[in-house]
Structure 1
Amino acid sequence: MTAVTSAPTRFSTALYVFAWLSFLAEVIIIATGGTVRLTGSGLGCTEWPLCTPDSLVPTEAMGVHGVIEFSNRLMSTVVGVLALVVLVLVWRRRAERRDLFVLAWIVLGGVLAQAVAGGVTVWTGLNAFLVAFHYTASLVLVCVAAAFLVRLYEPAGPRERAVPRGYAALVHATSLVLAVTIAFGVLTTSNGPHSGDADVVRNGFDATILAHVHAWPGYILLALTLAIAGIAWARRLPTRRWSLAFLGALAVQIFVGVWQANTALPPLLVGIHMVLAALTSAAYVVVVLRLKRPARA
């Protein structure tokens, strides 16, 4: 008897459109948040949720820094609205697609939590650890939004392993190395010269030492990724295309990282490095999800 799999659940076109828009918005807000930090606009709005003690929006006296900071706050609203729309669109199918319903809730809840975290970051005068947490949380939301997109195009129901056990273990071990690389990268950036505001002085870790420590797991990650992609293509595993995409994104990320480290950390390159970290992580999420396939009936 021929084994079959259930067909993917079909949703409204609107859900596919807004799911993609939500993912793109999560990436864009990393770029706008990076712009705030790298232009020294972190305290462009000195208060939260208001911009000043007496105004919701920036005043003329606050100059361009106030506009940049407030624009990022507006982008947060866009991200939240899109996440809410996705949740509403998937609401009626929550019984049959609980996975999508849970992921949609995580994104919306994360966006709301991020708004509060941003406010606390302003209240504490851009504490380096809170700045690092704020960025890391945004990166995680990009990954969750990517997972939502992957599952959106797959059928409901149980899933089974689609790759050899050893290969799956290698991929999961690489996840840990990726997390360590990102953690040290975030610490390096948050303690680097771009403090987010001209009046903020970092007295934490030595960013120069952290940059070297950040590079070590990065090169290990590259070696593991080469192995993952090589094995996937040699054995024609379902992860092969996305492992190659992850490898490409990681290679560009390393190139930009080395470039910025040798050119005194120009803001544009640092911003690109921040966005690439999110896209690289999202690609890796797809690789992990491709380790399994819908269970055969």
Structure 2
Amino acid sequence: MPATVDRRVRLFAWLSFLSEVLIIGTGGAVRLTGSGLGCPTWPTCTPESLVPTPEMGIHGVIEFGNRTMTGLVGILAVLVLVLIWRFRRQRRDLFVLACIVLGGVVAQAVIGGITVWTGLNPFIVGFHYVASLLLVCVTAAFLVFAYEPAGPRVRTVQRGFAALAHATSAALALTIVFGVITTGAGPHSGDADAGRNGFNAELLEHVHAWPSYALFALTVALVIASYRTRFGGRRWVVALLAIELVQIGVGLYQARNGLPALSVGAHMVLAALTAAAMTVVLLRMKRREPLEQTAVA
């Protein structure tokens, strides 16, 4: 039985992860350039054409480009599943995650279609982003497991550290949820005729900041605790803090400069990277016990 999967699985798993992050960036570009209805129908771009026509201009190109990215993400998900197939009995964890990613990509495409059909309903747009972010987390988890041997996972940290890490992840989840709701009330609707969610954007900016303050404080505490306890994944805790610092800088800049489109897009991608780093930190709280070692015990 192989201790770990081969390099090809890891390579395409990395490509799958990067493509999931990239599609968040391209999806953000669609909305932030007002190209949300650049292709007014789905799954075709227009009722008569699969691809954008010259009359549709740059908005059609941008929207269709994001749809093309969905195809790339799907192909990579299929390749990962095909490569992991022969390990499916020894590495059921990886096989299940690969299936989740492929199913998630299909669901992601369908949600994208519903987004177009509903004229960029802000709640559907927000749900579409959250679904994409969850796929980033799942592909990050796949990468963590792909570098581990087969065997049961055993917790290696004290309960206090685990509780602090889970509290940090809860603060992150709240920050993202309120960030999505705030965006749905803001000026970047994806199309001039698209509606907003009706909430007070200025008030939501403050509400969104509250869990982000808690997230930063908890992450600092987590960094300190990781060094005191010699946590094996402390470099990922430091990476989490570093991404948050950049995210805070971008957030302050966009709030003080009228939400420039580029900074909003960067904020979206950084949120996905923060969630991925948090996923790795949580998973690093356990380690694998190789099956051979377990059998001897």
How many corresponding residue pairs? 291
- The percentage of counterpart residues that share the same residue type is 65
Q: 2:40 aligns with which of 43, 46, 52?
A: 46
CA distance in 2, matches of 1:17, 1:144: 16
Gaps of 5+ in 1: 1-6
Residue 8 (structure 1) shift: 7.5
Instruction: Tell whether 2:122 aligns with 1:146.
Output: no
Alpha carbons 1:8, 1:154 under 8 Å: kept: no
How do 1:260-275 and structure 2 match up within 5 A? 260-275=254-269
TM-score (norm 2): 0.96
How do 1:33-112 and structure 2 match up within 5 A? 33-112=27-106
Q: 2:121 aligns with which of 127, 143, 147?
A: 127
Give 1:28's aligned residue: 22
Give 1:204's aligned residue: 198
CA distance in 1, matches of 2:4, 2:48: 49
4+ residue runs of structure 1 moved beyond 3 angstroms? none
Instruction: Tell whether 2:255 aligns with 1:242.
Output: no
Residue 134 (structure 1) shift: 0.2
CA distance in 1, matches of 2:115, 2:92: 34
Q: 1:113 aligns with which of 100, 107, 113?
A: 107
Query: Which SS does the other structure have where 1:92 is aligned?
Result: helix
Alpha carbons 1:8, 1:153 under 8 Å: kept: no
Give me the CA root mean square deviation: 1.2
1:140-170 deviations in Å (ceiling 9; x for gaps)? 0000000000000001111111111111111
Residue 51 (structure 1) shift: 0.4
Gaps of 5+ in 2: none
Give 1:166's aligned residue: 160
Instruction: Tell whether 2:163 aligns with 1:156.
Output: no
Letter in structure 2 aligned against 1:83: A
CA distance in 2, matches of 1:203, 1:227: 35
Alpha carbons 1:36, 1:69 under 8 Å: kept: yes
Residue 10 (structure 1) shift: 3.2
Letter in structure 1 aligned against 2:123: F
